[in-house]
Structure 1
Amino acid sequence: MNDLSSTPALPAEAQLPDDGQPTVINRLDYTPPAWLVPQIALDFALSLDATRVLSVLSVERNPANPAPTLRLNGDGIAARSVNVDGQPHNDWRMDGADLLIDLPGEAHTVTIETVVNPTANTQLSGLYASGGMLCTQCEAEGFRRITFFPDRPDVLSVYTVKMAGDKQKFPILLSNGNPVASGEGEDGTHWAEWHDPWPKPSYLFALVAGDLVASRDSFTTRSGRKVDLAIYVRAGDEARTDHAMRSLIASMEWDEEVYGREYDLDLFNIVAVSDFNAGAMENKGLNVFNTRYILADPETATDGDYDAVEGVVAHEYFHNWSGNRVTCRDWFQLSLKEGFTVLRDQQFSADRGSAPVKRIEDVRILRAAQFPEDSGPLAHPIRPDSYQEISNFYTATVYNKGAEVIRMMTVLAGPERFRKGTDLYFDRHDGEAATCEDFVKAIEDGAGLDLTQFRRWYQQAGTPRVDVAVAHAGDTVTLTLKQTVPPTPGQPDKQPMVIPLRTALFDRATGKHDGEHLIVLAEAEQSFSFSGHATPPVLSINRGFSAPVAIASPVSNEDLVFLAAHDDDPFARYEAMQQLVVQHLVSAVRGELSPAQRDAGRKAIGEAFAAVLADGALDDLMRGELVILPGESYLHEQLAPVDPGKVRAEREDLKRWLGETLKAEWTTLHDRCSAVPYSLDAAARGARKLKTQALVYLAPAAPTEAARRARAQYDAATNMTDRQGALMVLAGLDVPERAVALADFHQRFAGNMLVIDKWFSLQAGSLHPDALAHVQALAGHPDFTLNNPNRVRALYMAAAANPGVFHDASGAGYRMIADLILQLDPINGNVAARFVPPLGRWKKIEPARAALMRAELERIAAQPGLSRDVREQVSKSLEG
């Protein structure tokens, strides 16, 4: 993303040299910037197609790395004029996209004028237009698309921003920090000036100008300062911002209470934008959000959408300290801010709702997205060692695994000592650009831990596997654990990790245990003994998912049914249910089950499901989690090579069997839950989750009955959760009700971009046998466009995640995604690159499909002029 060097010896970005090969940026090549920029003043003359930018940089030579040349990164821009110390300066030159100036002395003022065309900026990086408004996205290398600057996160500056434009087109003018002045100009223009007193890197710069309305509130900090809050949206959307505002206030309260972090400006602004590559951006004091993570009301947003709004609002607010006040020294340290902040938003959401359900949801995401990444050609540590295009490292590994690694520190330290460590981290590094090592050292010092070996989690890629053997002799149980960290690209040999495992041993007769033990596996093989067990106990291990590892333990179906019924750790109970199903389905896919074994396996699963459905002590939110089958992508991880068709067939056959066997229970459950009125409390949310799950099992077992119930649920729905759940089931059935409901949904919500995104996704992700043809037809729908990332993801990412579509035996699914990548790359390379990893999994797939997948990667690689984003992903996918 940004230049990690400060001299011409290393290029500013992964540009193509003369041999056509992309430059690789290495973490160990880091050098401090040659010049610092303590202050920058920006003056914008705003226009949708020709915005003039005047930047005034106060530059100072850096004693840590003095060099005569000031390197200012650029990307697709040209300097109209360059002044030094108020005088025209012609002694400058270009090095690729970068502007170089040789400067004597220690300090200067450099003034540069550029002009950018926001409307033509389809990459949505830098300054771009979205529906008549102007907005910015500068992480990671967008600022260099606006003006020339040392665009790297270790150059921190105090920003003053003035902008002027047509008052009718741009009545609202926003930037970072606090407003300090405003006024009227000539010919219907007006202007505003903003000042951010906190030094920040250029990736946190933000500007928004447009016709917006604000929902307003305020928050009083614990020190008594009043902070004005505003969420800016298009007129008509303000009624759907209440939940986001409540989430923001709750985040501010929680961060003060749990981490001792108080907000530090006079106001906090959020702007919702329809065209956005990511979910949201934590720009200091002016967070820019994808509309999908701001707008919510019961009619248009599901319970999952409500949770996502709350979690993302919290995540971006928490970045004020874990990312802004303490930022990254370089982009290899990305998990410093993202992994830590993901953990913080997970903790916040757990405190706000059901902690057990939140933990299960987080692990499900990790296993669906990050585990495949860890075992594929794009595997990398949470702190990568090299990159060609840093935007490719905004990954589940950096975010989700990064959070799990820091969570392990909380397990090892305990909450009080971990808080001492984070306090020390913020105190030591406030106002600095820090490293992952700085964070680990602060936790080590503050919590009184030795994390020397633990640091390997930052250095090694791959998901560790822990093999468990249980021996019982006399009254002693001995656990023998062996860990294996698999080879990954560039890392064939691995060292043992520190793996904290929360463990309990259950007495079979009482269903109780004598207390939980934290065992720490730090060697390739270790044994742990526990006395006081006259009979062999049942092992519950990795409770709460205390470590992001794969556990391999020869647990019988009988013991798994026992744990599913008796384990007092909610995650472990869920895990027992998952393992029971996974063991059965993997054996079935491999053809290892005799008819008798298949029947026995199904019987055990059916007993566990029946027990969960009948357990009056369970709330419906947790019950709904326990009856969700393992996802196909997670099942793929258990097999090599994978036949996706067999996995789907076996999973759907088990679902059908459970639907038939427990049909009475599912119908009773659907009736009970349908009678619960809508509210956002846990009981009502649980009822909504569970009644759709009931339809999921009834659909393959009794499609006519399921269609009738789904249509009734759809027609009676007073909220999007019920309506979308019913439509999801109908979309997968070949019944008359399907077309009628889909047409009604589209007509009912025509013009609402976020809801129409759901309409596309439901069809692309469905179990319908003709889903691939449906996706191909939807690509020509009048509502589809390649220019809006949300719409592209809604259709094609749902298709790529649907094995029935993507892994169609003909290869048409692979060809469709490859065609998309080639078509989308010139428009938006960042979004196009996100579609490469599914094709990159070709080595995991059975030979016939693998050959088709590889052929599509080769076809993409042969295309001239690929973006750096796509080229890196494709080349690594072919090599890995």
Structure 2
Amino acid sequence: MRTDTGQIVHLADYRPTDFVLERVDLTFELDPTNTKVEARLIFHRREGVDPSVPLVLDGDELTLSGLLIDQSEAPASRYDATPESLTIRDLPAETPFEVTVTTFINPEANSQLMGLYRTSGVYCTQCEAEGFRRITYFPDRPDVLAPYTITIIADKAANPVMLSNGNFLGGGDYDEGRHFAAWFDPHPKPAYLFALVAGDLGVVEDTFTTMSGRDVKLRIYVEHGKEPRAAYAMDALKRSMKWDEERFGREYDLDIFMIVAVSDFNMGAMENKGLNVFNDKYVLADPETATDQDYANIEAIIAHEYFHNWTGNRITCRDWFQLCLKEGLTVYRDHEFSADQRSRAVKRVAEVRHLKSEQFPEDAGPLAHPVRPTKYREINNFYTTTVYEKGSEVTRMIATLLGSKDFKAGMDLYFERHDGQAVTVEDYLKCFEDASGRDLEQFSLWYHQAGTPLVTASSSYDQKKGTFTLSLEQMLPATPGQSNKEPMHIPLSLALILDNGQIAAPTAVKGGEMTGDVLHLTERKQTFTFSGISSRPVLSLNRSFSAPINLHFDQTPADLAHIARHDTDLFARWQALTDLAMPNLMQAARDAREGREITCDPALTAALLEAAGDEALEPAFRAQVLTLPSEADIARELGGNNDPDAIHAGRHAILSAIAREGNKTFLRLFDEMKIAGPYAPDAASAGKRALRNSALAYLTYAEGTPARAAQAFAAADNMTDVAQALTLLAHRFPDSAEAQGALDTFLKRFDGNALVIDKWFSIQATIPGAGALARVKALMENPRFVSTNPNRVRSLIGTFAFGNPTGFNRPDGEGYRFLAEQILSIDPKNPQLAARILTSMRSWRSLEPQRADHARSALATIERAETLSTDVRDIVERMLKG
């Protein structure tokens, strides 16, 4: 199960290790360029394994310095060491034995940010997925679990803080100028959950009393001077701990829980047992520097990593093919937490927006893969929206199918049955089957089959019989490696809305199973008949997005408006308005491309303005309603031969038409949603700001001048309003004096605050139009652009590639050639970062031929490079082949 040479790894080849790891003792003598690592490992041979089988440990760019077997130096005849592996022969057949491995590593030179590295004077680790093998030779796979004892020795002045997993055993002076700290984690864990942090850091402290009455110390470590900005993260942590007890019955199990925020980090955060390491953008916040979305992200990601304590740590993955079992499940848990903390309807809309914009294109392109893949070449490339977000949707469907009572019983059984184990998707599903008595064999295809199902619906109503007939057909398109698909079990929540706005209650349903308001589509074609329907109903289907599908159902604008006005499911109301807008936006793109006049459907404008002005709806929901489908959404629905410039022009024209028609409404909302008093990040206040800023955006379209946005920028007293006004100025009026003045003011005000300057880069990277590439290149010459910092690279190059359809997708292909150059530059230093940015080109085949040819050529340039990481080669070859 190794991937160190980039070979294909298959799920079918899994087998347990030949040796069982009983205990791990690690000693680190930290030095910026020459850290000594001594790993003392206790093994025993698994029962039935041939005594001649050697012990093989994983490595990555390692050099063996010393090897002891049972405290005696191992002769060279008993082992073979390479940078990628250590093979040890002639080991005891029955009794436990001890292997002590010594390596020296250079944290300062570790630009990959995997394993142990040093950034801004702080030592930090990132070991998921296969980073631990960059620290010492080890059986680096998730099904190898053991308790860890850690001793850290380092310069006392430079590293007053020394942290690792588990509970603190003690520490003190070691020798001249150095001190030590010892930690013990009693809970067996895989190496990917190991963590070490050392440096000079400030700390915010608090306590939490668990449901059994234990007091847990809580500590968040940040750079000195930034402690006040960690207050919201601490509050979110305490709320997460309480919620997990109340909702899932999960109590924290150590004496201390720690979070460390670092500025150089490849991921958002990492759930290492008891010592979470975070990208500091998901910890630090205050009103002056963080937007409402930043606060919401901090809340969600703090919760996500904490929830991993049980779904990922106490119960972990047997192998990396089961990654969705910890990530998809934990995403579902953090989504539920955020829904309970904020607005369930608004949260669901945001989830589906993200799913459709990120995961649906992945499912429809060359990088498509099942939620539980069967093979991979580089596991780092499978930390995808399919594993995370679609994985969450699969768990959500289980909850929908079983109902809350049986779902909770299944989760309780899962925690009880598999605590301390490394498990599979099959183990997970078996718990729900045993708890509910329901057969989930067909449903398990959601884990095994890639692609987004297309469900086609048609209906009819028989007035005389009082029956409503619904015909459904499902189709799952071919994806790389999977041409023939079996029918899925698709749960579809529905409502039949009568003329008076009431939801009909059928006296009977024939043609298949229906539980509550959920219809079970299990065959390729099914027809359901509902009896006792007094008048022609309007069908609302897939409410709350009960299944992650594409739905094709021709409905009139009047029917969609009826749903938007009367459905009790707020998500369905939002979806109806989106379905009303999308055909208009698609036609506008076609008209723009052909040079025809663009018109906005009055029914769309009327429905949007009605919802926007409905004071019975919370402001945050109304803000979502006013946010029309993005250019990427329109491109996805158009399907192919896409012209990003035409899509942009068409959407701009529709927005302008709505803005002009609704000018009075937007003026009123802009005034009414103004908040008096100091900033607060609570959901209600954030919702008002969102609606006010939506109104501001429409007003800039209606008025056609930068004046109002410039006034809003000058008057803003929080980062949410500042960033929105700056974005409107820069995007709508990029050449104006107001825009340039605001950008300069923003830079002067926040210079030195890295997270805010990331916003400054991102706002400019997404200014649409042909001038974007020159702007990005100029910004790369800015002394504030640091090419070794992943956040900064993502904020400029990544944001340009992912978030600027017109600027990146230039007809002359210069955007693609630029990206190819950047990928080849980033790859030698940080392959993970390069590979993730490269996925921005996953939908290149959907472009019109001229752009598609340029994109193909740029990808071929990357593929032809003499040296490529496994990460990037895997992505580029799949994109060219798929």
- Provide the TM-score with structure 2 as the length reference: 0.96
User: Quick one: distance in 2 between partners of 1:384 and 1:670?
Assistant: 48
* 2:826 equivalent to 1:827: no
User: Quick one: distance in 1 between partners of 2:107 and 2:597?
Assistant: 64
Corresponding position of 2:509: none
User: Quick one: distance in 2 between partners of 1:786 and 1:469?
Assistant: 53
- Partner amino acid, structure 1, of 2:340: D
Corresponding position of 1:739: 740
Corresponding position of 1:7: none
Secondary structure of 1:228's counterpart equals strand
Structure 1 residue 688: deviation in Å? 0.8
Corresponding position of 1:500: 491
Deviation readout 1:207-254 (Å, 9 max, x if unpaired): 000001110000111111110000001110100011100111111101
CA contact (8 A) 2:145 2:189 kept: yes
Corresponding position of 2:567: 567
Structure 1 residue 304: deviation in Å? 0.4
Deviation readout 1:620-659 (Å, 9 max, x if unpaired): 1111011110112222111231222221111111011111
Distance 1:708 1:674, change over 3 A: farther
- Between 1:88-97 and 1:773-782, the stretch displaced more is 88-97
Secondary structure of 2:81's counterpart equals strand
Secondary structure of 1:834's counterpart equals helix
User: Quick one: distance in 2 between partners of 1:720 and 1:215?
Assistant: 23
Distance 1:767 1:355, change over 3 A: same
Structure 1 unaligned blocks of 5 or more: 5-11, 16-21
Distance 1:440 1:821, change over 3 A: same
Secondary structure of 1:854's counterpart equals helix
User: Quick one: distance in 2 between partners of 1:241 and 1:622?
Assistant: 28
CA RMSD of aligned residues (A): 1.7
User: Quick one: distance in 2 between partners of 1:444 and 1:552?
Assistant: 32
Corresponding position of 1:13: 3
Distance 1:597 1:574, change over 3 A: farther
Deviation readout 1:367-420 (Å, 9 max, x if unpaired): 110000000000000101111100000000000000000100000111111010
Structure 1 residue 593: deviation in Å? 12
CA contact (8 A) 1:325 1:430 kept: yes
Equivalent residue runs for 1:409-808 within 5 Å: 409-474=398-463, 475-510=466-501, 512-514=503-505, 517-591=517-591, 599=599, 602-641=601-640, 642-677=642-677, 678-704=679-705, 707-732=706-731, 733-734=733-734, 735-767=736-768, 770-801=771-802, 802-808=804-810
Distance 1:739 1:598, change over 3 A: closer
CA contact (8 A) 1:676 1:687 kept: no
- Partner amino acid, structure 2, of 1:500: P
CA contact (8 A) 2:60 2:83 kept: no
User: Quick one: distance in 2 between partners of 1:773 and 1:336?
Assistant: 43
* 2:259 equivalent to 1:259: no
CA contact (8 A) 1:507 1:537 kept: yes
Corresponding position of 1:71: 56
Structure 1 residue 595: deviation in Å? 12
Structure 1 residue 693: deviation in Å? 1.1
Structure 1 residue 797: deviation in Å? 1.7
User: Quick one: distance in 2 between partners of 1:478 and 1:174?
Assistant: 63
Equivalent residue runs for 1:164-313 within 5 Å: 164-313=153-302
Structure 1 residue 320: deviation in Å? 0.3
User: Quick one: distance in 2 between partners of 1:155 and 1:486?
Assistant: 38
Distance 1:472 1:97, change over 3 A: same
Distance 1:422 1:675, change over 3 A: closer
CA contact (8 A) 1:746 1:756 kept: yes
Deviation readout 1:784-810 (Å, 9 max, x if unpaired): 121000001001121112101111112
User: Quick one: distance in 2 between partners of 1:686 and 1:821?
Assistant: 38
Tell me which of 65, 68, 78 is aligned to 1:80. Answer: 65
Corresponding position of 1:53: 37
CA contact (8 A) 2:592 2:646 kept: no
- Partner amino acid, structure 1, of 2:786: T
Structure 1 residue 673: deviation in Å? 2.0
User: Quick one: distance in 1 between partners of 2:474 and 2:184?
Assistant: 53
Corresponding position of 1:9: none
User: Quick one: distance in 1 between partners of 2:42 and 2:592?
Assistant: 71
Secondary structure of 1:863's counterpart equals coil
Structure 1 residue 443: deviation in Å? 1.3
- Partner amino acid, structure 2, of 1:131: S
CA contact (8 A) 2:598 2:650 kept: no
- Partner amino acid, structure 1, of 2:145: L
CA contact (8 A) 2:588 2:654 kept: no
Distance 1:875 1:771, change over 3 A: same
Corresponding position of 1:8: none
- Between 1:662-671 and 1:344-353, the stretch displaced more is 662-671
Deviation readout 1:26-48 (Å, 9 max, x if unpaired): 01000101112110100111111
Structure 1 residue 860: deviation in Å? 0.2
Identical counterparts, % of pairs: 47
CA contact (8 A) 1:840 1:878 kept: no
* 2:871 equivalent to 1:869: yes
Structure 1 residue 130: deviation in Å? 0.9
Tell me which of 161, 175, 184 is aligned to 2:150. Answer: 161
Corresponding position of 1:19: none
Secondary structure of 1:843's counterpart equals helix
Distance 1:543 1:40, change over 3 A: same
Corresponding position of 1:849: 851
Deviation readout 1:242-284 (Å, 9 max, x if unpaired): 1100111111101111101110000001000100000000000
Structure 1 residue 587: deviation in Å? 3.1
User: Quick one: distance in 2 between partners of 1:832 and 1:64?
Assistant: 44
CA contact (8 A) 2:589 2:648 kept: no
Distance 1:723 1:862, change over 3 A: same
Corresponding position of 1:43: 27
User: Quick one: distance in 2 between partners of 1:597 and 1:503?
Assistant: 38
CA contact (8 A) 1:35 1:66 kept: no
Distance 1:485 1:668, change over 3 A: same
CA contact (8 A) 1:561 1:607 kept: no
User: Quick one: distance in 2 between partners of 1:419 and 1:584?
Assistant: 43
Runs of 4+ in structure 1 deviating by more than 6 angstroms, as ranges, are 592-598
User: Quick one: distance in 1 between partners of 2:450 and 2:186?
Assistant: 39
Secondary structure of 1:277's counterpart equals coil
CA contact (8 A) 1:14 1:388 kept: no
- Between 1:399-408 and 1:105-114, the stretch displaced more is 105-114
- Partner amino acid, structure 2, of 1:652: H
User: Quick one: distance in 2 between partners of 1:104 and 1:113?
Assistant: 21
Corresponding position of 1:360: 349
CA contact (8 A) 1:676 1:684 kept: no
Corresponding position of 1:143: 132
Distance 1:776 1:44, change over 3 A: same
Distance 1:598 1:763, change over 3 A: closer
User: Quick one: distance in 1 between partners of 2:435 and 2:788?
Assistant: 48
CA contact (8 A) 1:454 1:498 kept: yes
- Partner amino acid, structure 2, of 1:84: I
Corresponding position of 2:512: none
Structure 1 residue 351: deviation in Å? 0.5
Corresponding position of 1:351: 340
